[in-house]
Amino acid sequence: MGLPSGTVPGGVYETLPSRLYTDPATFDAEQEVVFARSWQLVGHQSQVPNPGDHFLARVSGEAVVVVRGDDGTIRAFYNVCAHRGHELVTERRDDGLDVGTCRRFTCPYHAWSYRTDGSLAGAPNAAAFPGFDAATVNLAPVRVEVFHGLLLVNLAADAVPFHLVAGSASEQIARYAPGLADAHHVARTERRAAANWKVVAENFNECYHCAVVHKTLTTGVVDPDRYTTRVEPWGIVHRSPARPDDVKSYGYVADADAGTDWFLTWWFWPLFAVQVYPGGIVNTYRWRPVDVGTTEVEVDWWLPHPEPTEVEAEIIHQHRTTTFAEDGPIVDSVQRGLASRGFDRGPIVVDDRCSSRSEHPILGVRYHYLAAMGGAVSP
């Protein structure tokens, strides 16, 4: 195959075996080999504007505290006290939206406290402990990067920096979502899918089903005849010109000079995407695998102002009630089918143009998956 950059010859290929979507042991391996070594979206820098502002995020089964330090630097730490392992922040949800603020993190077990840079600030009766050296006690750090304002974390200390992973996608996002770094969080749409994360990823990236399932999208937002998806070393990029004014499904202004006349998606392997709707309206997708058959799907909208305009509110509602809602029962049904004795592998159909009516993006997901898993699975 001609992956990971570009297209593949037209033809009939084969899916991964169904056991890779239904086997709990496979999911456990993915936690270690894929999720714990991948850059994952947890939020946006606007959520922690001041020193001490922080939130919890769950990444690869781990709770991570993201905090802006007293020096203005955004850091991340495992949510574990370095003394006896008690959870440090206990009063926040782990969805990335429950933001708190504090001068110090104080463990509720023995009241050891930590500065926002992770260093130990104090421990009761510490002066009475011979040999105790506070300088050797620190919260365990997690790597964090700011990418066009988005906050990404990676549990692997030796991971390649994300700005190197993203390559040309970074320049494209700067062109078509120039205000993302300064954006405000305006809305979230979420669902707990009864499906394996790979089912959700494949469905998100292939548009062979779009004309059947997503009629509003394909008649009023994108042009199916000019919609393209191309596999890249970092993931998959989607592009489509906006629909003309006489058929568009919401009241955006498509300005070619400003680059707002496109529908664009950058899916970053394996669990998040940046998406720009015509009119330059930006959202992010985040997938949080819970277990082998459950994935939390979150769509967050990042806009120039704290309150959406009428047009922005229109597309947020349209997306929530059409494309997003329509995908839910599809992926749940596929997961049930994959668990059936009547299915193991199926054909992946690819046309010569790698058009929107082709399933080559599934080969892209497959390529990235097998490259990441190495010898941990056999296709």
Question: What are the pLDDT digits (tens) for 41-56?
Answer: 999 999 999 999 999 9
pLDDT at 189: 97
Mind listing the pLDDT tens digit for each residue in 234-258?
A: 999 999 999 999 999 999 988 999 9
The third-level CATH classification (topology) of the domain covering 11-38+164-376 is: Naphthalene 1,2-dioxygenase Alpha Subunit; Chain A, domain 1 (3.90.380)
Indicate the range of 80-84, 94-98, 116-120 predicted with least confidence: 94-98
Distances from the Cα of 48 to the Cα of 42, 55, 100, angstroms:
12, 8, 9
**Whole-angstrom Cα distance, residue 254 to residue 220?**
13
Mind listing the pLDDT tens digit for each residue in 327-340?
A: 999 999 999 999 99
Listed by start position, the domains of the chain span: 11-38+164-376, 40-147
Q: Which two tokens stand for residue 281?
A: 């309206």
**Whole-angstrom Cα distance, residue 234 to residue 367?**
11
The third-level CATH classification (topology) of the domain covering 40-147 is: Rieske Iron-sulfur Protein (2.102.10)
Give the mean pLDDT of 145-169.
Answer: 96
* Nearest to 59, CA basis, from 95, 105, 21, 90: 95
- In 3-state terms, the chain is what percent helix, strand and coil (to 5)? 30, 30, 40
Query: What one-character DSSP code corresponds to residue 245?
Result: T
Residue holding tokens 């549990």? Answer: 155
Give the mean pLDDT of 92-118.
Answer: 94
Please, are residues 195 and 334 in contact by the beta-carbon 8 Å criterion? yes
Distances from the Cα of 118 to the Cα of 44, 78, 227, 272, angstroms:
20, 10, 47, 27
